[in-house]
Chains A and B, each alone.
Chain A
């Protein structure tokens, strides 16, 4: 057992433990903060396995952007900061299913890989990631940009009820005169 193995086991335990706390906590804000810990531990795992770029992206995107967004949403929607009774906790069926799936996957992995010793591949640094991405996976990368654009536009249009409302109101107001000119915006 090397230092790296021990580190991986420790970080894994932190990730799973704080993940469990996220779903069982009754405080919304605390759940968000436990999520930060869990995702940070994941970043540590990536670092331990040599994937530096992914680790930093994890911190930047997930911890930095996503969780902060979560906390902002909690703040702006005035969600309860204290313990809230209607944050439902996982019931026994969920625990059994989740636990069963976890145990099943673990057994599967152990059975497949056993005690094989793999030589670690070259570290997944930026240069290697770039080569892989732009050497082999250009198409999904570009298509993802369309996905992100649609997500962006969608998020904006969902959260701002005034977009388009002016046109609708104006059209409703002018409807009697405009009855003959229905084809204008098609």
Chain B
């Protein structure tokens, strides 16, 4: 009567959930080491993800399983764990300032990681939606969490995010229900379009599921929450939102798109997302809003190969992996340059920042170049090549052309932001003091704590290494 449980296959889930509980216990018992516990637990989750037996599946009814272990799922879990550890490291200076209670903050982040791990291994729609909700619910709270009312934009950001997110979950659940009513299938491996009279119902159900998941990815026209939320949240939380939360949405979309015929809806979403995201980003004056709109556009590049169906899933995931790494670097460098407890600031706040702090400037240039698809961000270039190649192979050349043109539009704002980093101070009027000296005195360099440096260094090394040797990622995603 009950389902058989393969505990070895469930190791990543145990590790992730265990991390969350460990953080809570560390907070209760010692009132210290919470972030350390979180980082170590995330590392353990990554190790368990690699160690879980390949092709194992558990919680099955007959052939249909709710938890499926594949190399791709393992890679994505490792990515979630790494992102959680990285964001925990980035938030250490903010937490030291007393911004939020450390234990609860770390606990919520690790719960989110657990949700991400569930999404990666999910084998049916219910587990997928539950996992997605577990991934994003702690983020509603993290966005709005602030002790000193330093950021009045946080509360509206949290409420906007919360409302739109629950609506999207409801829409996705409705879609899943309609699909179940039409086909009787909930497990991913047996999803099909409906037959006969139920074809329309199944199609609408599939479309609703795609729309619900598209909210999570911030695809246009369901994107309005992203800039507001990213700007109101503290920068480490915005980092997690734009990387892990987006990755979860992409996994969910890919799972559905692989087996249902949703090409038209996804193609329209992709084109709108890319174009609107890039065009609006051109007009942004605040750094985090610029990054938010740019990540909206990048989501468009990720879902473009999904329009092709199962053949494009590998390219979409490859792009997602490279994108997540580069986005983490971009947000992380912004967080480090701005200092703890602040929001992202306007673009002018970064004037000459690359000269003040050469290494952080270099990391930010690497991230922007990669997001734009140019060397030295070779990882980003390979990502774009992969997407274009999968689209042209599948015969969707026109979509590849749209992706290419959007890359040109995107470069305009990436280059503007990069140029600002290295801009010289222009002396205005009669100079009494050396303008460089004055600028340096009024814009002191923010000291960067060791944990943040470590997180950024590891991320940058990974990005450069993947840029020169991307083949292992492709191998894992193809299996």
Q: Do chains A and B touch in the complex (CB under 8 A)?
A: yes
Q: Which residues of A contact B (CB under 8 A)?
A: 105, 108-109, 111-114, 131, 134-140, 143-144, 146-147, 149-151, 153-155, 157-158, 161, 163-165, 167-169, 171-172, 182, 184-186
- Cβ–Cβ contact B133 & A147, under 8 A: yes
Instruction: Chain A residues near B350: list those with CB within 8 A.
Output: none
Q: Write 13 A-B pairs (CB below 8 A) sorted by A numbering.
A: A112-B197, A112-B198, A134-B3, A135-B61, A143-B115, A150-B111, A150-B138, A163-B101, A164-B104, A167-B98, A168-B98, A182-B96, A185-B95
- Cβ–Cβ contact A149 & B201, under 8 A: no
- Cβ–Cβ contact B59 & A171, under 8 A: no
Instruction: Chain B residues near A111: list those with CB within 8 A.
Output: 197, 200-201
- Cβ–Cβ contact A146 & B20, under 8 A: yes
What's the nearest-Cβ distance from chain B to residue A147, in Å?
4
CA distance A105 to B205 in the complex (A): 10
Tell me which of B104, B115, B204 contacts A108 (CB under 8 A): B204
Q: Which residues of B contact A (CB under 8 A)?
A: 1-3, 5, 13, 17, 20, 24, 31-36, 59, 61, 66-67, 92, 95-104, 107-108, 111-112, 114-115, 118, 126-127, 130-131, 133-134, 137-138, 140-141, 144-145, 147, 178, 181-182, 194, 197-198, 200-201, 204, 449, 451
* A112-B197, A137-B126, A154-B140 known; A171 vs B20 contact (CB < 8 Å): no
- Cβ–Cβ contact B130 & A143, under 8 A: yes
* A144-B130, A146-B114, A154-B138 known; A138 vs B3 contact (CB < 8 Å): yes
- Of all chain A residues, the one with the shortest Cβ separation from B140 is A154
Instruction: Chain A residues near B20: list those with CB within 8 A.
Output: 146, 150
Instruction: Chain A residues near B104: list those with CB within 8 A.
Output: 153-154, 157, 163-164
* A111-B197, A157-B141, A161-B147 known; A147 vs B134 contact (CB < 8 Å): yes
- Cβ–Cβ contact A108 & B101, under 8 A: no
- Of all chain A residues, the one with the shortest Cβ separation from B174 is A105
CA distance A149 to B194 in the complex (A): 37
- Of all chain B residues, the one with the shortest Cβ separation from A134 is B2
Instruction: Chain A residues near B449: list those with CB within 8 A.
Output: 182
Tell me which of A105, A153, A171 contacts B107 (CB under 8 A): A153
CA distance A172 to B98 in the complex (A): 8
- Cβ–Cβ contact A150 & B134, under 8 A: yes
CA distance A184 to B92 in the complex (A): 11
What's the nearest-Cβ distance from chain B to residue A170, in Å?
9
CA distance A113 to B182 in the complex (A): 9
- Cβ–Cβ contact A140 & B66, under 8 A: yes
Tell me which of B103, B126, B141, B194 contacts A140 (CB under 8 A): B126
- Cβ–Cβ contact B145 & A158, under 8 A: yes
CA distance A139 to B194 in the complex (A): 27
- Cβ–Cβ contact A157 & B101, under 8 A: yes
* A136-B61, A172-B98 known; A158 vs B127 contact (CB < 8 Å): no
Instruction: Chain A residues near B67: list those with CB within 8 A.
Output: 139
What's the nearest-Cβ distance from chain A to residue B203, in Å?
10
- Cβ–Cβ contact B3 & A185, under 8 A: no
* A146-B17, A163-B104 known; A158 vs B141 contact (CB < 8 Å): yes
CA distance A146 to B126 in the complex (A): 15
What's the nearest-Cβ distance from chain A to residue B252, in Å?
14
- Of all chain A residues, the one with the shortest Cβ separation from B131 is A143
- Cβ–Cβ contact B201 & A109, under 8 A: yes
Instruction: Chain B residues near A108: list those with CB within 8 A.
Output: 178, 200-201, 204
Instruction: Chain B residues near A139: list those with CB within 8 A.
Output: 59, 66-67, 118, 127
CA distance A186 to B96 in the complex (A): 8
CA distance A140 to B130 in the complex (A): 6
What's the nearest-Cβ distance from chain B to residue A185, in Å?
5
- Of all chain A residues, the one with the shortest Cβ separation from B134 is A147
CA distance A172 to B144 in the complex (A): 22
- Of all chain A residues, the one with the shortest Cβ separation from B128 is A140
Instruction: Chain A residues near B101: list those with CB within 8 A.
Output: 157, 163-164, 167
CA distance A109 to B205 in the complex (A): 11
Tell me which of A112, A158, A167, A182 contacts B144 (CB under 8 A): A158
Tell me which of B2, B137, B178, B200 contacts A135 (CB under 8 A): B2
- Of all chain B residues, the one with the shortest Cβ separation from A137 is B126
Q: Which 4 A-B pairs have the closest CB atoms?
A: A168-B98, A164-B101, A154-B141, A150-B111
Instruction: Chain A residues near B98: list those with CB within 8 A.
Output: 164-165, 167-169, 171-172
Instruction: Chain A residues near B96: list those with CB within 8 A.
Output: 171, 182, 185-186
What's the nearest-Cβ distance from chain B to residue A35, in Å?
16
- Name, among A137, A169, A182, the residue most crowded by chain B CB atoms within 10 Å (CB to CB): A137
* A153-B108, A154-B137, A161-B147 known; A140 vs B197 contact (CB < 8 Å): no
- Cβ–Cβ contact A164 & B111, under 8 A: no
- Of all chain A residues, the one with the shortest Cβ separation from B39 is A186
Tell me which of A105, A112, A134 contacts B182 (CB under 8 A): A112
- Of all chain A residues, the one with the shortest Cβ separation from B148 is A168
- Cβ–Cβ contact A131 & B1, under 8 A: yes
- Cβ–Cβ contact A147 & B35, under 8 A: no
**Given A150-B20, A154-B140, A185-B96: 20 more A-B contacts, CB < 8 Å:** A112-B181, A112-B200, A112-B201, A113-B197, A138-B2, A140-B66, A143-B115, A143-B134, A147-B111, A147-B115, A150-B141, A151-B137, A153-B108, A154-B138, A154-B141, A164-B100, A165-B98, A171-B96, A171-B98, A185-B102
